[in-house]
Structures are given as structure tokens and as C-alpha cells.
């Protein structure tokens, strides 16, 4: 029989161990706790995204649109510029929502859920637990939110029980609700609360990447190619010529954008198509890759509403989270059959 340690005893031990720490050390541990290993890569990609968005919008409005649509009247050019701004604003808005919506599973004190007290040292898959919402006779109420408590799991890293379809991320160092995958380009995990924004971001990235890639290539072909050589389109050579004044900053930005836009559009299109297929099946990338035993019995329309909310097509026009919220809470799933992930024994 494993030694059972309740939550109050663990909290006491942790509190006693922190008494001897200085205030500076407590602050350092607080901000260092849960910090992912790829902070530098995350901030580099985010800085690159901001730089790309600002400079691409600038050159598009000031140079690309006036040059490519120079045969059109000023009002037509104006509306095309409005459309470019609309695409950019929606892409940035969904990018911010992907990062700002925290999709991790948080520990709270007032939640009557399955709580694991201890893990056997010899068999980590077998643990002793109890139901905090059970009555005085030890029975689980029929109207309890924890009817599917046996499908909850225990994260030994976060030291808490997690609901079905929640999995731990080694980079975020958190348990993510309905974890899909960790996106290194955005620098965060894609899960229950931000998957809708990630899919829309992939859609707008596809449109912007391919459309702006064509605009940029057309401008370079008409303006820069007649007076340049082939090697000027290699970024190291372009940067060298920029330093020594042979190429202006506009040409350097356009060549730099041309190396990012088309690959970004192609990669985003793969993400968008794959996400739409997976959402229609009611699954996640993690469940498919890890072969998690999950079976969806809901129709395709309900699967899309589960991710995007009601009238889910409006998400492609503007972020619709405020008006059409998701139906699930990320912990219980109607129409989903989830196999038990652990063996549970009564204490």
C-alpha cells in the first residue's frame, strides 16, 4: 500500500521549504517557474512577425499597389489598399489572440473534480485517489460534473489531475486543454481556447503570403531585375550590397520579403487544410500522432461549432469570440468516447 500524502501536508512542506528563501530568490523563482526552454526562439519569431507585418504593409501601400494597379483609377487603388489593410489587421488580431488566450489547465481550490493523492513508486500507471465531490458515504452523486472521473489523468510534473484530452507540453511546462500541438512559429501551444484563432491565422497567412508574394515578385521583375544580376537575390549578397550602398533599403526589404512570403503561404496552407480536416473529424494532431483512443460520434457541423462557436464561418471575417463563444468548457466532451488512460484503485 503506497504512502498517501494529502494536499494540506504537501502544501505545508512546500511552505516550510520556502521560509528560508530571501525575497529576491522568491521573486526569481516565481518568474522562472514554468518558463519554456525556447524563449529566445519564441521572441525571435515574434519579433520577425512584427517586423514583417509592419514593413510589408508599408511597402504594399506605398509602392506595390500603386505600381501594379497604376492603370486603374485612384478610387480602385484606394479600395485595394483598404483590402490589404483588412487582411493585415485580421492576421495580426488572430496572431495576438493565439498568444494571449491561455489554453493551459489551471489549478483551482473550488473545483469538485477528481483529485489524485499519491502515485505508487513501483507502478506509476496505478495511483490512489479519491473524488472530492463524493458524499459522506463515499458515493459519487449522479448529477456530479465528475461522472467521467475515470478518464481523468494525473500529471506527475504539474502534480495535479487533468481532464480528458489535456496533455502536458514540455516546452510550455503546462498541461494544455485539448492539446493539439506546440507551434514554434507563434511560440505557444495550440489547444482548446486558441485553436480557432490559429486556424484563421493560417488562412490569412496563406492569402497574404501568396498574394503579397505575387505583388512583390511582380514589382521586382519590373523594377529591379532589368538592372541587376541573379546573385543579387541571395540574401547574403543583398545584405552586402546594402551595406556598401549598391542597393537601397526598399530593394533589400522587397528581396527579404520575397524569401519569406511564398514559403510562409505554402506552409500556412498546409496547416490550414490539415487543421480543417482534423477539426471536421473532431480530433487533434496530438491524438492522431500519439494514437490516443478517442472516438467522435458527433456530426461534422457540431465539430466545427465546438472549435469556432455558432455561425463559425464568421470567424473568417473577424474574431468572433466575444459574440459566439465555444460550447464546451475544455474538460467535458459530449459525443466523444474517451478510453480510460489510467487504472484507478480506491484508497
Cβ-based neighbour number of residue 147 at 10 Å: 12
**Degrees, nearest 5: CA angle 198-56-316:** 30
At residue 119, the 3 state secondary structure works out as: strand
Query: What does DSSP assign to residue 104?
Result: B
Q: Are 242 and 252 in contact (CB under 8 A)?
A: yes
- With a cut of 50, list the residues of the chain below it in pLDDT: 1-18, 30, 34-37, 112-149, 342-347
CB under 8 Å to 232, separation ≥6 — which residues?
224, 238, 241, 247, 255
Q: Are 257 and 59 in contact (CB under 8 A)?
A: yes
**Whole-number Å distance between alpha carbons of 249 and 100:** 33
Residue 174 has phi, psi (to 5 degrees) of -145, 160
Nearest CA to 292 among 178, 173, 171, 174? 178
Sign of CA dihedral 50, 53, 58, 59: positive
pLDDT of residue 232: 75
How does 257-272 read in b/e, with b if 16+ C-beta sit within 10 Å? Answer: bbebbbebbeebbebb
**Whole-number Å distance between alpha carbons of 153 and 344:** 10
How does 148-166 read in b/e, with b if 16+ C-beta sit within 10 Å? Answer: bbbbbbbbeebebbbbbbb
**Whole-number Å distance between alpha carbons of 83 and 89:** 10
Task: Locate 67 and state its grid cell.
Answer: 505600381
pLDDT tens digits, residue range 72-107?
999 999 999 999 999 999 999 999 989 888 888 887
pLDDT of residue 266: 93
Sign of CA dihedral 34, 37, 39, 42: negative
pLDDT of residue 223: 85
How does 45-84 read in b/e, with b if 16+ C-beta sit within 10 Å? Answer: bbeebeebbebbbebbbebbbeebeeeeeeeebeebbeeb
93 exposure class (CB count in 10 Å sphere: 0-12, 13-18, 19+) = middle
pLDDT of residue 138: 39
Q: Are 192 and 185 in contact (CB under 8 A)?
A: no
Q: Are 162 and 152 in contact (CB under 8 A)?
A: yes
For the chain, percent of residues with pLDDT exceeding 90: 23
Nearest CA to 305 among 225, 207, 216, 195? 195
Q: Where are the beta strands (DSSP E) in 199-318?
A: 294-296
**Whole-number Å distance between alpha carbons of 35 and 12:** 25
Task: Dump the DSSP string for 6-60.
Answer: -HHHHHHHHHHHHTTS-HHHHHHHHHHTT--TTHHHHHHHHHHHHHHHHHHHHHI
pLDDT of residue 340: 53
Amino acid at each position: 500500500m503506497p504512502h498517501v500524502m494529502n494536499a494540506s501536508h504537501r502544501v505545508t512542506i512546500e511552505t516550510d521549504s520556502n521560509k528560508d528563501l530571501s525575497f529576491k530568490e522568491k521573486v526569481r523563482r516565481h518568474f522562472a517557474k514554468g518558463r519554456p526552454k525556447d524563449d529566445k526562439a519564441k521572441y525571435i519569431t515574434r519579433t520577425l512577425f512584427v517586423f514583417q507585418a509592419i514593413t510589408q504593409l508599408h511597402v504594399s501601400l506605398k509602392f506595390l499597389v500603386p505600381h501594379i494597379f497604376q492603370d486603374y483609377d485612384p478610387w480602385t487603388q484606394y479600395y485595394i489598399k483598404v483590402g490589404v489593410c483588412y487582411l493585415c489587421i485580421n492576421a495580426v488580431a488572430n496572431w495576438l489572440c493565439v498568444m494571449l488566450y491561455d489554453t493551459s489547465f489551471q489549478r483551482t481550490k473550488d473545483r469538485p473534480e477528481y483529485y489524485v493523492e499519491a502515485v505508487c513508486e513501483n507502478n506509476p500507471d496505478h495511483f490512489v485517489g479519491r473524488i472530492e465531490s463524493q458524499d459522506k458515504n463515499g458515493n459519487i452523486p449522479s448529477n456530479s460534473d465528475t461522472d467521467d472521473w475515470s478518464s481523468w489523468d494525473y500529471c506527475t510534473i504539474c502534480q495535479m489531475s487533468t481532464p480528458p484530452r489535456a496533455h502536458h507540453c514540455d516546452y510550455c511546462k503546462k498541461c494544455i486543454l485539448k492539446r493539439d500541438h506546440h507551434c514554434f512559429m507563434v511560440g505557444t501551444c495550440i489547444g482548446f481556447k486558441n485553436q480557432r484563432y490559429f486556424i484563421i491565422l493560417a488562412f490569412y497567412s496563406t492569402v497574404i503570403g501568396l498574394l503579397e508574394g505575387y505583388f512583390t515578385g511582380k514589382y521586382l521583375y519590373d523594377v529591379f531585375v532589368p538592372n541587376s544580376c541573379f546573385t543579387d537575390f541571395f540574401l547574403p549578397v543583398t545584405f552586402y550590397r546594402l551595406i556598401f550602398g549598391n542597393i537601397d533599403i526598399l530593394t533589400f526589404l522587397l528581396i527579404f520579403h520575397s524569401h519569406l512570403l511564398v514559403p510562409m503561404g505554402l506552409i500556412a496552407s498546409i496547416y490550414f487544410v490539415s487543421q480543417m480536416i482534423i477539426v471536421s473529424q473532431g480530433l487533434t494532431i496530438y491524438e492522431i500522432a500519439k494514437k490516443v483512443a478517442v472516438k467522435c460520434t458527433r456530426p461534422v457541423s457540431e465539430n466545427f461549432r465546438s472549435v469556432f462557436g455558432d455561425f463559425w464561418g464568421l470567424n473568417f471575417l473577424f474574431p468572433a469570440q466575444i459574440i459566439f463563444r465555444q460550447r464546451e468548457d475544455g474538460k467535458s466532451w459530449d459525443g466523444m468516447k474517451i478510453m480510460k488512460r489510467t487504472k484507478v484503485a480506491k484508497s
